[in-house]
Amino acid sequence: MEAPILTPRQAHARQQAGAILVDTREAHERSTGMAAAALGVAGPDLESAPGEVIPCLDSEVLLICEVGARSLASARALAAAGYSNVGSVEGGTRRWRADGLPMAEPQIDPDERDFNERYSRHLLLPEVGAAGQQRLGAARVVLVGAGGLGSPSAYYLAAAGIGQLDIADDDVVDRSNLQRQILHTEARIGMAKVESAAIALSALNPRLRVNPAAVRVTSDNVEALISEADVVLDGGDNFAVRYLLNDACVKLRKPLVYGAVHRFTGQVSVFDAGRHRGRYPCYRCLFPEPPSPEDAPNCSEAGVLGVLPGVIGMLQATEAIKLILGIGEPLRGRLLNFDAMRMRFRETRLSPDPACPVCSPGTPFPGYIDYAAFCSGN
């Protein structure tokens, strides 16, 4: 039997006559207000144990959610479970409120309200939910580079609710950056990039703790920078920093989210060999030797399509979030290549190098080297 659909006014009249009104939204949704005198039970909980809420199969039950779709699905599930008088409220709580029907407005802590409203779309995802969002809020990500890759990565990590973002970059904002480095503005030309980033990110999400470090990452400071990180994100633009970050992340057992762009193409991967020696590769397994400067010019020499770092940086942020939440299949052991001209993605499988001097099982850390000389071929 199909569950009947009632308008909010009809449902309110039936509630006044004794019908049981159940708000099937999640708790964080109900905290923003619910129909007066409604019971609050999330749809999945109601469907799994309806007898705990509605003991009698012939009780008149009306279900309401945000806009009507979820309550209708739950109403159909209850009808299939033997409830003979169950209906759904058309338009849900939004229409109930718009029609001026009585609401119960809970008094909640302003910080809790901000959390529920800001991350409402995450809280609806079973793979994230309140527990996952709190995990993001407790996480610390170290971002090396506040330029083309770091800008979109930082924006999305801040928006997603990462608790602390440490950003290391010793450069200042230049007008030529603005074509792709969206953290920065014309008004902040000449400002340290990390300070400009802190201004932009704090304006987006005041809950974020930003720790700007206007330093060049070197062998002397890399361990202090990343030792407390849950994830390290490589937003740099030179090979010396990439090899340095790789070696430090292997030594300290930190996952490294790699990204690189060149003209119209980009790459993304996750190097997690420090925590999974012999199972996943590190950056050196993919590139045992750096290419010559002539074969791999940087963006200031070869140019780059302005939107390309946005695509790659966004993918890096996605991988960082997945690693923190422990969901999905991160790009460990896989290199994702993107060709903007052909709008194609291509995946390459990567295997660990059993002779890798840094990450092969049983190999002691060889120590840091002169990465600038190594990458220049000297």
- Find the CATH number of the domain harbouring 46: 3.40.250.10
Q: Is the pLDDT of residue 41 over 80?
A: yes
Are 190 and 43 members of one domain? no
Same domain, 49 and 150: no
pLDDT at 113: 87
For residues 149 and 82, membership in a common domain is answered with no
Q: Which residue has the higher pLDDT, 242 or 373?
A: 242
The answer to whether 46 and 25 are in contact (CB under 8 A) is no
Q: For residue 326, is it within any domain?
A: yes
Q: Is there a domain that residue 122 lies in?
A: no
- Tell whether 81 and 148 lie within a shared domain: no
pLDDT digits (tens, 9 = 90+) for 108-158: 788 988 999 999 999 989 999 999 999 999 999 999 999 999 999 999 999
Domain coverage including residue 275:
139-376
CATH code where residue 220 lies: 3.40.50.720
Predicted TM-score of the model (pTM): 0.84
Could you write out the DSSP letters of every residue in 258-293?
Answer: EEEEEBTEEEEEEE-TTTSTTTS--HHHH-SSPPPT
Parallel, antiparallel, or unpaired: how do β-strands 20-23 and 34-35 relate? unpaired
Of 62, 88, 107, the last residue of a domain is 107
Q: Is 174 found in the same domain as 70?
A: no
**Is residue 299 pLDDT above 90, yes or no?**
no
What would the mean pLDDT of 346-366 be, rounded to a whole number? 95
129: in domain: no
Question: Do residues 279 and 355 share a domain?
Answer: yes
For residues 30 and 179, state if they share a domain: no
Residues 177 and 251 in one domain: yes
Q: Is residue 112 domain-resident? A: no
Report the number of distinct structural domains present in the chain. Answer: 2
Looking at the fold, whether 254 and 194 belong to one and the same domain comes out as yes
pLDDT of residue 301: 65
Residue-level pLDDT at 28? 86
Ranked by mean pLDDT, which of 192-201, 231-240, 285-294 comes out on top? 192-201
pLDDT for position 297: 62
Query: Residue 1 pLDDT > 70, yes or no?
Result: no
pLDDT at 281 over 70: yes
Going across the sheet that includes 86-89, the strands are: 5-6, 86-89, 61-64, 20-23, 39-40
Q: Where are the beta strands (DSSP E) in 135-208?
A: 140-144, 164-168
Q: Which residues are catalytic?
A: 299
Segment among 1-5, 74-78, 85-89, 233-237 with least mean pLDDT? 1-5
**Same domain for 98 and 169?**
no
